[in-house]
Structure 1
Amino acid sequence: MAAKFCYGVNFEITPANVAHLSCAAAYLEMTGDYSGDNLSSRTQEYLESVVYKRLELCLEILTQCETLLPLADELNIVPRCIDAIASKACAEQIAISFSRLEYSGSGRLHMSRHASCEGDWWIEDLSVLRVDFYQRVIAAMKCRGVRPESIAASLVNYAQKELNKKSPSENEKQVVEAIVGLLPDEKCVIPIGFLFGLLRSGVSLDCAVACRLDLERRIGSQLEMATLDDLLIPSFRHAGDTLFDVDTVHRILACFFQHKDESDEDGMEDESSDVFDECDTPLPPSQTSLFKVAKLLDHYLAEIAPDANLKLSKFIAIAETLPTHARTVHDSLYRAIDIYLKVRSIVSLMLGLFQYLIHGVC
């Protein structure tokens, strides 16, 4: 087509060829420095008047630019497409939010419950992007102020598509690390089951330590929402180790208590000076979450107890993570200990656990 342009043959610039033509024009120096009517200016005009105004066309151009790097980046095609996508997604959410404002029965203005899920049609469309382009688009959206819930939904959708392929790809590790780096900071925006899924992938793919620690911290801050299946993370180490990754769960518990301590300190600062009757005072959220985690942990101990490779020191370390007041009853803990002993039937183990029961529980 560049040759057709040189010989004055008429041709049509379309979304399917504009990126290639723009790069060819730059490479062949068919720019305004040599002619007023040049291929570079014609492709630039098409990009400005057609492509950058439509989100779906920007996505189409980005997929074409995957084979045109670094020239497409240097010509500002990629950055302009990314900025256009982020701007339009944000503008559409704002427009829909204003159009869905309603007055409640009390006369107060509030958001329609359907408004928050509209304007997110782009979530599925972004899944066609290569991970490095996707990462740049989401980062731009966060800077533009796109809702954290929408960002989270897009991340979940992208991860499910990229990490659940029938034939594993070589860039799965890059995908996990990129998604973790893009996770919103707001608590409970990302489902905890999804965080555990990312952590499993991160461990199996040997992702960066910082990536895994970030996931453990996020999980720890909302551990009370986890299920037993979430905690049963397979061990991907050498033979002779435990069936489940006990060390990771131990670190997650440490993150939970660190978060709880910080929340308790904030709660003490905000606590009212009013005195309430102790029987009428509801449990603070941190205490409720503590009891939930205690129950979950004892069920976890019972599940890992039959593992012949689980050392007594690790079993006790997990059990001792909880403070004594966290367990209102100890039936589940005794059951876990009973399972552990029946599998081994070793006197020395019984003595060690007996000492733990005397000093830790009683």
Structure 2
Amino acid sequence: MEACCCNLEVDVNGEETFMVDKTVITQYSNKFARLFGKSSGATGKLKVIFHDFPGGAEGFELMLKFSYNNGTADISPSNLFLACCAAEYMEMKEPVADVSNLLEQTEKSLQEISYWTWSDLLIGLKQCQSLLVPDSSVMVERCLDTIVGRLVLASEASPCPSTSSTDSSWVRYSCDSKSTESVKTSFSRLTWWFEDLLFLSPLLVAMLVKLMLSRKMDHVVISKFLLYYQKAKFSTATTHEKCKIIEMVIDMHYDMDLSCVPCKTLFGILRVTLGLNISKCSRNKLETMIGSQLDHATLDNLLVPSPYGISYLYDVNLILRFLKAFLRRGNGLVTPIRKVASLIDLYIAEIAPDPCLKTSKFLALATAIPDSARDSYDELYHAMDMYLEVHTQLSQEERLKICCGLNFEKLSPQACLHLSQNKKFPSKFAVQALISQQSKLKNLLHMTPSTSSYNDSPCNSSGAAQKGKKNKTSEQVVLYSSNFDISTDNEKLEAHLQGMQWRVMELEKFCRKMQIQMAKITKSKASGHSYAKSLPKLCS
């Protein structure tokens, strides 16, 4: 580059030094004009050092070409953003003299961005990223918005539109470069751009996704792009970069419609975060999202290893936080909370054999679910039995605390009988289980139809006699239990328990006989079309 008088030395970011004519360059740059305004008559060479010139030596050289070519420049998609950044930095908005304005020329070129090809948009976006343009830059927003607009059109259009279309070049480019197949699957037509945008930084991906969400793009496709991006970038990223990438992925998913994000996807993201020190805010967002869909989780999903430094095998605290998020959702639906209750019971049974699991953690899980969410406490009882089997060193007080988590009214007869013989449980709970079971059997038998319902039945007299026998037996059991003294020694306690077990079994046998008899009565009445009453559900 030749100049009449090279009286100004410019060091650009330590990359390269330029010798320029101060008079020429100040004619186009308000920054230089202001800098040399008071020393315009000074003789000798001056030196200016730039440490943060956008685009470095390449950007400064582009600005010099514009200045030395009488205010003209060859602006194209490949250098538009570079010229724009250089013009802004050198304050080339309002010319000092009556000359052309580089920033004005770049803005006019930017208005034609909608006519750029897909490859031109990618080149421009790469240039923006290399220039470290702030996220509020109009150039970046315009470029990203144009890309999103193209993707929206592509998702609505056929895979390879006709060449007569105004914007067909960018779509043809994507189709031709991504596959040699003449016909693509529907999903591949929606994801052909994934590979093209892998060069974006997490910051620009976040800006891109926000624009996609505002343009109502398919959340499923957006989620798949984020996961594709995360997986591709992790192969070469540092630990710090991995944290930034996964935090961006979490934050973007948090803004989506969670009904479009499978629970499996969220647990996959969770697995990736293990071992990474991501921000507390992003971790809370992920746990909230998972908690809100806990009724769609599986046992394998919940078996997350404990973080480093925790003695027990699985991360119980994490599951408790999931539960808290799920219960906080409070949608009032019965089915989801019952699914979660069953899932948590399975989880408790899985972690119960862990010898390092503290009683407080076990009890917190057992009591976290409302009683109304469980139809049966059998699974929880078996988990408690397993826990007590492994943790033989527990004190009597700790055993009592654990057993208080049971609802004996929701234990099956088999579980109650097992508990009554289970010496790992405190004696008072064995007695309580038997009394509860006897009470349920008594109520069951009292729910049978009255004798007036069987006036025409040939079995009426025998049924009444059996009913009397039943009442007598039930009353004897109740009297027996009311006179029971739990303060007696172990031998008497075992004798009492055995007697109560025998009576419970006798009642169960009698109940089964009555069910058979009632079935016969029902069949007899149905054949004569004279009995329209339905039997109680518990006796059916």
Q: Report the TM-score, using the length of structure 1 for normalisation.
A: 0.73
Match of 2:26 in 1: none
Match of 1:61 in 2: 124
- Cα 1:353–1:130 change in 2 (3 A) is same
Deviates more, 1:192-201 or 1:12-21: 12-21
Aligned to 1:337: 384
Residue by residue over 1:79-129, the C-alpha shift from the partner in whole angstroms, topping out at 9 and shown as x without a partner, is 2112212222223334459x9xxxxxxxxxxxxxx7676444333333321
Question: What is the alpha-carbon distance in structure 1 between the residues aligned to residue 356 and residue 115 of structure 2?
Answer: 59
Residue identity opposite 2:316 in structure 1: V
- Alignment match of 2:362 (pick from 306, 315, 333): 315
Letter in 2 for 1:21: A
Query: Which residue identity does 2:145 align to in structure 1?
Result: D
**Aligned equivalents of 1:120 and 1:197: distance in 2?**
20
C-alpha separation in 1, matches of 2:310 and 2:249: 32
Percent identity over paired residues: 32
Deviation at 1:318, TM superposition (A): 0.6
The C-alpha deviation readout for 1:6-49, integer Å capped at 9, x for no partner, is 55599965544443333334444566735755655555555444
Count of aligned pairs between the two proteins: 321
Q: For 1:14 and 1:170, how far apart are their aligned partners in 2?
A: 36
What residue in structure 1 maps to residue 393 of structure 2?
346
Q: 1:360 to 1:136 in 2, by over 3 A?
A: farther
For residues 247 and 235 of structure 1, what CA distance do their matches in structure 2 show?
9
The residue type paired with residue 247 of structure 2 is E
Conserved 8 A contact 1:23-1:72:
no
Q: Which amino acid aligns with 1:248?
A: L
Answer yes or no: is 1:165 the counterpart of 2:230. no
Quote how far apart the aligned CAs of 1:136 are: 0.7
Deviation at 1:140, TM superposition (A): 1.3
**Residues 46, 227 of structure 1: alpha-carbon distance in 2 compared, 3 angstrom cutoff:** same
2:155 to 93, 97, 104: 93
2:515 counterpart residue number: none
Q: CA deviation at 1:218?
A: 1.9
Question: Partners of 1:330 and 1:166 in 2: how far apart?
Answer: 50
Q: For residues 56 and 314 of structure 1, what CA distance do their matches in structure 2 show?
A: 57
- 1:27-106 aligned within 5 A: 27-28=89-90, 33=95, 40=103, 43-49=106-112, 53-70=116-133, 74=137, 76-95=138-157
* Partner secondary structure for residue 305 of structure 2: coil
Q: Which amino acid aligns with 1:177?
A: E
CA distance in 1, matches of 2:129, 2:399: 62
Contact preservation (8 Å) 1:203, 1:212 = no
Give the TM-score, by structure 2 length: 0.51
Checking the alignment, whether the CA contact within 8 Å between 1:62 and 1:133 is kept in structure 2 is no
Which residue number in structure 2 is paired with residue 274 of structure 1? none
Give CA-to-partner distance per residue, 1:211-268, whole Å, 9 cap, x none. Answer: 333322222222122122221223325x244332212211211222333x3243xxxx
- 2:258 is paired with a residue of what secondary structure? coil
Residues 44, 218 of structure 1: CA spacing in aligned structure 2 closer, same or farther, 3 A cutoff? Answer: same
Distance of 2:113 and 2:143 partners within structure 1: 12
Spell out the pairing of 1:54-203 with structure 2 (5 A cutoff): 54-70=117-133, 74=137, 76-95=138-157, 118-162=189-233, 164-165=234-235, 167-183=237-253, 184-202=255-273
**Which residue is equivalent to 1:21?**
83
Cα 1:71–1:27 shift into 2, 3 Å: farther
Structure 1 unaligned regions, length at least 5? 100-113, 265-285
Going from structure 1 to structure 2, the CA distance change for 1:51 and 1:27 (only over 3 Å counts) comes to farther
Note the alpha carbon deviations across 1:303-341, whole angstroms, 9 max, x for none: 222333321111111122233454455454344333323
CA distance in 1, matches of 2:120, 2:299: 45
CA deviation digits over 1:273-312, x for unaligned, max 9?
Answer: xxxxxxxxxxxxx42x334323322221132223333211
My pick for the range that moved more, 11-20 or 332-341, is: 11-20
Paired residue for 2:327?
Answer: 257
Q: 2-side partners of 1:51 and 1:218: how far apart?
A: 37
- The match for 1:303 is 350
* TM-aligned CA distance change 1:331 to 1:67, over 3 Å: same
**Which residue does the alignment assign to 1:107?**
none
Structure ranking higher on relative contact order (CA contacts 8 Å, 6+ apart): 1
1:175 shift after superposition: 2.5
Supply the distance in 2 between the matched residues of 1:119 and 1:49 (Cα, whole angstroms). Answer: 26
Compared with structure 1, are the counterparts of its residues 157 and 351 closer, same or farther at alpha carbon in structure 2 (3 Å cutoff)? same
Per-residue deviation, 1:134: 0.8
- Shift of the alpha carbon at 1:359? 6.2
Equivalents in 2 of 1:202, 1:122: separation in Å? 26
**Matching residue within 275, 282, 285 for 1:211:** 282
Q: Write the letter of the residue equivalent to 2:328.
A: Q
Q: Distance in 1 between matches of 2:344 and 2:134?
A: 54
Structure 2 CA distance for aligned equivalents of residues 186 and 72 of structure 1: 25
Larger Rg: 2
SS of equivalent to 1:197 = helix
* Aligned AA (2:327): F
Please give the alpha-carbon distance, in whole angstroms, between the structure 2 residues aligned to 1:182 and 1:153.
Answer: 12
Which residue is equivalent to 1:248?
Answer: 318
Secondary structure of the residue aligned to 1:66 is helix
Q: Residues 31 and 255 from structure 1, CA distance in 2 versus in 1: closer, same or farther, beyond 3 angstroms?
A: closer
